[in-house]
Amino acid sequence: MPSVVNETNFQREVLEASGPVLVHFWTPWCGLCKLIGPMLETIQGDSKELIKLVSINADENFRLANTYRLRNLPTIMLFYNGELIEKLDNFNSRDRLRIALERLMKNTLSLSQ
């Protein structure tokens, strides 16, 4: 289950985290965003809890959305040791999203080992 993160706790929860953090920027009106949630939870479960999963409502956290220059939703970002490692934000189908997430998770697991 993802943690809910906002502008107040982003520094502590994401940038100061001890391991990899997968950030899911979403909005309530985004249909594809709703499909991602269960996919991310499944992938996180498969990673044996090595990856922290957080969720950020882009509408309610405009400064974060602006800081990371969100152009599309959903946007998935991987942070490690306070650094943005990868940003995924151009999905036009569920299958492309699944493939991108699987590749990202493989890369993430290699960081945490």
pLDDT digit string (tens) for 62-111? 999 999 999 999 899 989 899 998 888 877 666 777 777 777 777 766 76
Q: Mean pLDDT score of the chain, rounded to an integer?
A: 84
- Angstrom CA distances, 111 to 47, 73, 83, stand at 12, 26, 12
Separation of alpha carbons 34 and 64, rounded Å = 20
Residues in the chain: 113
All domains in the chain, ordered by first residue: 3-111 (3.40.30.10)
Task: Kindly state the DSSP code that residue 48 receives in the 8-state scheme.
Answer: T
Q: Which residue has the higher pLDDT, 6 or 39?
A: 6
Token pair belonging to 43? 């992938």
Token pair belonging to 55? 């969720």
Task: Kindly state the DSSP code that residue 1 receives in the 8-state scheme.
Answer: -
Q: Which positions are catalytic?
A: 30, 33
